[in-house]
A and B are shown apart, each in its own frame.
Chain A
Amino acid sequence: MLKCVNLKKYFGGIKAVDGCSFEVKENTITALIGPNGSGKTTIFNLISGILKTDSGKIYFKINSDYLEITNLAPEKISNLGISRLFQQSRLFSNLTVKENLLLALDNEDTKFWKNLLGFNKINKEKEEKIKEMLNLVGMEKFEDKLVRELSYGQKRLIELVRTILNPHKFLMLDEPVAGVNPKLREKIEEILLKLKNQGETILLIEHDMNFTLKVSDWVIVMEKGKVIAEGKPEEIKTNPKVLDAYLGE
C-alpha cells in the first residue's frame, strides 16, 4: 500500500530520518515504534507532505499501480487517500463537533460559487454518517458542542473520528491513545480492531507497547532515524536489538 525507500531528513546536523526504508502492506495495522526522537513523527510528516524529504522516495498504491507521492503538497496527499491523525490536537477549536466532522466529509466546501449560490447542501447521508460515527464513540450528545469546550479525551476521540471520516484508503495515526484514560483506550482499541476487520490499512505510532502489540500485525522499530528491526509483534517482543534500543533491557 505504501513504500518508503531510503528516506532522509536532516535538521542541520541532526539526522531525524537517516535512510529509512519500509513497506506497509494492505489490510494490516503496521506499528512504527521507537524511543523519543527516533524519527517516527518526522516519517509521518514526510509521508503526509508536511515536511519535504532531503532524499528518498515515497510510493502510494492507487488501484494497482504505485504512484510516487514524495514531496507532494499535504492537500494533494490527503486527496489521494491518506488521512492522518496528529499527535497534538489539531481540531478547529472555535467550530462545533459537527462542523469539524463535516469539514472532513465535504469535498465541495471549497467551491466558492457553488456555496454562495446555495448549491452545496449538507445532505442527509453526510449527517447520518456523522451521527453513526458519534454513536460509535458514544459522543452523539456532543454534536453541537464547541470543540474548545470538550475534555482532552473527548477531543482525541473526535479527532480520531474526523480522521476516519476523511475519505481515505490509508490511515496514519500518531499516538491515538497517548494521555487518554484506560476506558477510552479500550474504546480506541475496539475501533481500530473494527477498522482492521473492515479491511482498512493503518500505520500507527504508539508508545504503549501492550496496546501496540495487541492491535498490530507488523511492527517496525526505529532508532536514531533508522529502521533497526521489523517483524510480527511476537518476534519484536523478543528481538534483542529492540529490547536493547527501545526497552533499555
Chain B
Amino acid sequence: MISGYFIHLLILIGIYFILAISLQLAVGFAGLLNLGHIAFFCIGAYTSALLALNNFPFWLCFLLAGIVAMLFGFLLSIPTSKLKGDYLALATMGFSFVIYAVALNWTSLTRGPLGLPGIPKPTLFGISFSDNFSFLILIAIIALISYLIVKKITTSPFGKVLEAVRDDELATKVLGKNTFKIKTYALGISAFFAGIAGSLYAHYITFIDPSSFTLLQLIPVLCIVIIGGLASLKGTILATIILVLLPEPLRFIGFPSSIVGPARQMIYALILLLILLYKPKGFYGKVELE
C-alpha cells in the first residue's frame, strides 16, 4: 500500500519535473514569462488521449502530443513576439483561458466537462506499462531524456543566445541575432516538453477533463521554477521533489478534501513568499527574479 503510494508520488514528480524544466527553458533561460504553459500541457493531454481512444499506438500519441503542442507554441510566439514581462504574461495567460474554453466547450471532440475517460495505459514495442511500477520506469526514462536534451540545449552556444535574449534583447539583436527566431524556438521546444508531459499525465490518470488544466494547476509548476532558481536545472530537480512531497502530509492529518486543496495552495504561496523575501534567486538560481 505504502509502496504503491510512494510510486504514485514518484510518477507525479516525474510528470511535474518534465513540465517544470520545460517552463524553466522559457522563463528561466529565455526570459519569457509564459503563464500559458498549462495550455500546452492540456493540448498534449487531449491530443494523446483522443488519438489513443481512436486506437492509435502510444508512441504516435506521445510524439504527436509534443508536436501539436509545439506547433501551438510556435503560433503563440507570433502575436507575442514584441511583448515582454507583464504584458507577455497576460497575453500567454489569455491563451491558456482560450484553450481551457475550447476544451470545455468543444463537446463533440472533448466531451466538455464530462471529460475523456478510459484512456488506455501505454504499450510500447509490445511492452505494457499498465502497472504503476512499469509506468514509473517509463516516466523516469522520459524525464531523464528530457533533462539531458534541455541540458544540452542550455549549455550549448544556442543556450547562451537564449540567456542573452533574457538579459537584453536589443543588445542581442545588435549582435546580429534574430531574436524572433530564438524566442519562437524557445516557446516551441518548451511547449513540446509540456505536451509530452500532458500525454504521460493523460495515460497515467486515464481520465482527463478541463478542470485539470486551469491556471491553478500552473501555480505549483511556476513555484518549482522560481523556488528552484531561474536558469537552474539542478534547482528545478530539487524544487520539484520538495514541492510535490511537501503538501503530502496533509493527507494523513484527516482534513476533508475541501480543506486539503486550498491548504496545498497556501503552502505553495507561503514557500514562494519566503523564497522571494530571503532567497530571491531560489535554491540555485543564476538570475534574480525581477
Which residues of A approach B to under 8 Å, CB–CB?
48, 50, 73-75, 78-79, 83-84, 86, 90-95, 99, 102-104, 106-112, 115-116, 118, 120, 122, 162, 166-167
Asked if B171 and A166 make an inter-chain contact with CB atoms under 8 angstroms apart, the answer reads no
- CB interface residues, B 169-205, toward A, < 8 Å: 170-179, 181-182, 185
Complex alpha-carbon distance, A104 and B182, angstroms: 16
Question: Does B156 interact with chain A (Cβ within 8 Å)?
Answer: yes
B157 touches which of A78, A91, A109, A162 (Cβ 8 Å): A109
B175 touches which of A50, A73, A115, A166 (Cβ 8 Å): A166
Contact A94/B163 with A75-B178, A110-B181, A110-B182 known, Cβ cut-off 8 Å: yes
Main secondary structure of the interface of A (DSSP, over half): loop
A115 touches which of B153, B172, B178 (Cβ 8 Å): B153
Complex alpha-carbon distance, A104 and B168, angstroms: 14
Q: Which chain B residue shows the least CB distance to A106? A: B157
Asked if A103 and B149 make an inter-chain contact with CB atoms under 8 angstroms apart, the answer reads no
Which residues of B approach A to under 8 Å, CB–CB?
149, 152-153, 156-161, 163-164, 166-168, 170-179, 181-182, 185, 231, 286-287
Asked if B176 and A79 make an inter-chain contact with CB atoms under 8 angstroms apart, the answer reads yes
Contact A116/B149 with A90-B170, A103-B160, A109-B161 known, Cβ cut-off 8 Å: yes
List 11 A-B pairs, Cβ < 8 Å.
A74-B174, A83-B174, A86-B174, A91-B171, A92-B163, A92-B172, A109-B156, A109-B177, A110-B158, A110-B161, A120-B157
Q: Please give, as numbers and ranges, the residues of chain A lying within 8 Å of B171 by CB-CB distance.
A: 86, 90-92
Asked if B168 and A90 make an inter-chain contact with CB atoms under 8 angstroms apart, the answer reads yes
Tell me which of B173, B181, B286 has the highest count of chain A C-beta atoms within 10 A of its own C-beta.
B173
Q: Please give, as numbers and ranges, the residues of chain A lying within 8 Å of B231 by CB-CB distance.
A: 94
Asked if A74 and B173 make an inter-chain contact with CB atoms under 8 angstroms apart, the answer reads yes
Asked if A75 and B164 make an inter-chain contact with CB atoms under 8 angstroms apart, the answer reads no
Asked if B176 and A107 make an inter-chain contact with CB atoms under 8 angstroms apart, the answer reads yes
Q: Please give, as numbers and ranges, the residues of chain A lying within 8 Å of B177 by CB-CB distance.
A: 75, 103, 109-110
Contact A116/B152 with A99-B160, A108-B157 known, Cβ cut-off 8 Å: yes
Tell me which of A116, A162, A166 has the highest count of chain B C-beta atoms within 10 A of its own C-beta.
A116
Complex alpha-carbon distance, A37 and B181, angstroms: 35
Q: Please give, as numbers and ranges, the residues of chain A lying within 8 Å of B167 by CB-CB distance.
A: 92-95
Q: Please give, as numbers and ranges, the residues of chain B lying within 8 Å of A104 by CB-CB distance.
A: 175
Q: Please give, as numbers and ranges, the residues of chain A lying within 8 Å of B161 by CB-CB distance.
A: 103, 109-110
Contact A73/B173 with A94-B287, A110-B178 known, Cβ cut-off 8 Å: yes
Q: Please give, as numbers and ranges, the residues of chain B lying within 8 Å of A50 by CB-CB distance.
A: 170, 174
Complex alpha-carbon distance, A50 and B170, angstroms: 8
Main secondary structure of the interface of B (DSSP, over half): helix
Least CB distance, B30 to chain A, in whole angstroms:
12
Least CB distance, B289 to chain A, in whole angstroms:
12
Asked if B157 and A84 make an inter-chain contact with CB atoms under 8 angstroms apart, the answer reads no
Q: Which chain A residue shows the least CB distance to B176? A: A78
Tell me which of B153, B157, B175, B179 has the highest count of chain A C-beta atoms within 10 A of its own C-beta.
B175
B174 touches which of A78, A106, A118 (Cβ 8 Å): A78
B158 touches which of A75, A78, A115, A162 (Cβ 8 Å): A115
Asked if A111 and B174 make an inter-chain contact with CB atoms under 8 angstroms apart, the answer reads no
Asked if B160 and A95 make an inter-chain contact with CB atoms under 8 angstroms apart, the answer reads yes
Q: Please give, as numbers and ranges, the residues of chain B lying within 8 Å of A83 by CB-CB distance.
A: 174
Asked if A115 and B156 make an inter-chain contact with CB atoms under 8 angstroms apart, the answer reads yes
Q: Please give, as numbers and ranges, the residues of chain B lying within 8 Å of A111 by CB-CB distance.
A: 158
Tell me which of A90, A107, A112, A162 has the highest count of chain B C-beta atoms within 10 A of its own C-beta.
A112
Complex alpha-carbon distance, A167 and B86, angstroms: 35
Complex alpha-carbon distance, A20 and B156, angstroms: 44
Q: Please give, as numbers and ranges, the residues of chain A lying within 8 Å of B286 by CB-CB distance.
A: 94
Q: Which chain A residue shows the least CB distance to B157? A: A109
Q: Please give, as numbers and ranges, the residues of chain B lying within 8 Å of A84 by CB-CB distance.
A: 174
Asked if B168 and A95 make an inter-chain contact with CB atoms under 8 angstroms apart, the answer reads no
Complex alpha-carbon distance, A92 and B29, angstroms: 12
Q: Please give, as numbers and ranges, the residues of chain B lying within 8 Å of A99 by CB-CB distance.
A: 160, 163
Complex alpha-carbon distance, A73 and B81, angstroms: 14
Complex alpha-carbon distance, A172 and B164, angstroms: 21
A109 touches which of B149, B158, B166, B173 (Cβ 8 Å): B158
Asked if B170 and A74 make an inter-chain contact with CB atoms under 8 angstroms apart, the answer reads yes
Asked if B149 and A92 make an inter-chain contact with CB atoms under 8 angstroms apart, the answer reads no
Complex alpha-carbon distance, A166 and B173, angstroms: 12
Tell me which of A78, A84, A99, A110 has the highest count of chain B C-beta atoms within 10 A of its own C-beta.
A110
Complex alpha-carbon distance, A249 and B153, angstroms: 59
